């Protein structure tokens, strides 16, 4: 298979696997192409934008602001869309004119006592698509540049941003996690490997996965130093021993369950959510046997997951617009709350700071930052100043500051919680 057709294959699969729910039939393509409005760039969009995914990505989207189309075009060119540099502006203009931002569900503002401030950095490479953030113990921020094949590093004190390009083209760096030595491990989402980046030397080590394990997704270490990861599209969960470099993969019992966000309990048991099903699952750290727990609502689509220090799980139900709480002892959903902006709010990136749940709603424009206090069951929300553009993940520093990746805006944000209850800002 040539690199190009391999990439097309990956792209095709990725879109189907990422719940955009687009059947990839030729006939359908043609119908969609026919729906493209006339204009100077119609033909080029028709041919160059339908090789990896359906044109429905464009025609049925909520539309974009001019700035967002510029960023989207940069992302697509970064990953290999065949648009000559001289034509990029023309295509961008065509898309901006014909697919402007449509009003979607409105973000719901819920006031409260907690004050936050946002610091946002526009990233140096257009179309980086910052996917996951990493709040490092030294107070600096790392991020994965999913569509620019790089890892980025921000020093919030100076605002300096440094980029580290990966060795393997089209790696698609996605999830990030730091080991005890300060090395950064990442999932190469387009290239089926796990990478280790050593900030001190810039050295990158690649650990290729079995070829069936395309789309490695969320990485996390357990207490013994084993690296666990979900593999969304291949419907698998994996374990890599960093000392030997050996990895082992197992298949999720539910077909097309799209293993997604993952956490590890205090007892060392990994739990993950199945974004393609209404299920949460645990995996035996020794045998790798998977046990699934069914959430009561069939339409639930848990996308990301977070855990308190006393092992209470919260998950963002992207499909239905809920925040859910799950008890690992009983294996049942305990309670769920409708997310402030409603059924289309698309709760996504989530983290927990000393019992307070923070997450973002990706289905509203601008995206929101949501704070939920389980003790009072009260929500408070803020609009993300740069828009969010789908906050795919978030993480917190020990002092309670949050780091957010605003993927479609090419922005990384740091959120400082100024007041409110002390519990939210005290390091554990």
- What residues make contact with ligand HEC under the rule CB under 6 A? 7, 11, 14-15, 18, 45, 48-49, 51-53, 57-58, 61, 72, 76, 79-81, 83, 91, 95, 408
Token reading at 155? 């020093």
Measured from the CB atom, the residue of 57 and 183 that comes closer to ligand HEC is: 57
Phi, psi of 172 (to 5 degrees): 65, 55
Instruction: State how far the Cα of 335 lies from the Cα of 310, in Å rounded to an integer.
Output: 17
Token pair 């519990």 is found at 423
Which pairs with CB-CB distance under 8 Å and at least 24 residues apart come from 319-323?
Answer: 321/345, 321/346, 321/347, 321/361, 321/363, 322/347, 323/347, 323/357, 323/359, 323/370, 323/372
CB of 41 to ligand HEC, least distance (A): 9
What is the chain's length?
428
Min dist. Cβ of residue 171 to ligand HEC (A): 13
Q: What would the two tokens of residue 165 be?
A: 């390009």
Q: How many whole angstroms separate alpha carbon 161 and alpha carbon 152?
A: 7
Taking the complex as a whole, the smallest distance from the CB of residue 229 to ligand HEC amounts, in Å, to 17
Of 58 and 306, the one with the shorter C-beta distance to ligand HEC is 58
Closest CA to 276 of 319, 322, 213, 314: 319
- Nearest CA to 257 out of 282, 239, 231 is that of 231
Residue 26 or 329: the one with the smaller Cβ distance to ligand HEC is: 26
Q: Please say which residue, 10 or 213, places its beta carbon nearer to ligand HEC.
A: 10
What's the closest the beta carbon of residue 376 comes to ligand HEC, in angstroms? Answer: 36
Residue whose pair of structure tokens reads 């969304």 in the numeric block: 232
Instruction: Choose between 357 and 391: whose C-beta lies nearer to ligand HEC.
Output: 391
Q: How far is the CB of 256 from ligand HEC (least distance, A)?
A: 16
* Cβ atoms 229, 262 nearer than 8 A: yes
Contact 310, 275 (CB under 8 A): no
Give me the least distance between CB of 4 and ligand HEC, in Å please.
9
State which residue, 83 or 353, has the beta carbon closest to ligand HEC.
83
Which pair of tokens denotes residue 51? 């090789």
Give min distance, CB of 284 to ligand HEC, in A. Answer: 30
Closer residue to ligand HEC (CB): 15 or 394: 15
């Amino acid at each position: 298979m040539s690199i190009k057709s391999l990439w097309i294959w990956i792209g095709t699969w990725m879109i189907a696997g990422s719940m955009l729910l687009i059947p990839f039939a030729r006939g359908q393509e043609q119908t969609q192409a026919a729906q493209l409005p006339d204009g100077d760039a119609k033909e080029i969009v028709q041919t160059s934008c339908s090789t990896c995914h359906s044109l429905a990505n464009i025609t049925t989207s909520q539309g974009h602001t001019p700035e967002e189309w510029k960023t989207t075009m940069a992302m697509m060119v970064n990953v290999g869309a065949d648009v000559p540099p001289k034509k990029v502006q023309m295509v961008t203009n065509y898309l901006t004119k014909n697919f402007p931002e449509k009003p979607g569900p409105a973000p719901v503002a819920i006031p409260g006592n907690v004050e936050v401030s946002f610091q946002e950095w526009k990233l140096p490479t257009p179309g980086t698509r910052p996917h996951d953030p990493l709040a490092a113990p030294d107070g600096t921020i790392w991020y994965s540049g999913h569509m620019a094949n790089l890892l980025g590093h921000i020093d919030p004190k100076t605002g300096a941003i440094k980029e580290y390009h990966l060795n393997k083209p089209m790696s698609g760096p996605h999830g990030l996690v730091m080991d005890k030595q300060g090395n950064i491990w990442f999932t190469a989402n387009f290239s089926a490997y796990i990478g280790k980046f050593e900030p001190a030397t810039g050295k990158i080590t690649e650990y290729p996965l079995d070829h069936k394990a395309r789309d490695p997704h969320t990485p996390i270490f357990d207490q013994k130093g084993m690296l666990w990861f979900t593999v969304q599209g291949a419907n698998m969960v994996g374990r890599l021993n960093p000392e030997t470099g050996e990895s082992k993969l197992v298949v999720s019992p539910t077909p097309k369950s799209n293993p997604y966000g993952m956490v590890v309990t205090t007892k060392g048991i990994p739990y993950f959510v199945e974004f393609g099903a209404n299920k949460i699952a645990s995996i035996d750290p020794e045998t790798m046997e998977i046990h699934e727990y069914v959430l009561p609502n069939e339409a639930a689509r848990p996308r990301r997951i977070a855990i308190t220090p006393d092992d209470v799980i919260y998950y963002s139900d992207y499909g239905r617009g809920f925040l859910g709480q799950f008890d690992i002892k009983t294996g049942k959903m305990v309670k769920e709350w409708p997310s402030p902006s409603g059924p289309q709010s698309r709760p996504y990136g989530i983290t927990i700071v000393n019992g307070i749940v923070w997450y973002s709603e990706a289905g509203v424009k601008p995206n929101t930052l949501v704070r939920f206090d389980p003790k009072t069951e009260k929500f408070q929300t803020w609009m993300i100043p740069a828009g969010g553009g789908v906050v795919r993940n978030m993480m917190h520093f020990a002092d309670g500051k949050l780091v957010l990746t605003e993927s479609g805006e090419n922005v990384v944000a740091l959120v400082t919680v100024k007041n409110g209850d002390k519990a939210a800002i005290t390091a554990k």
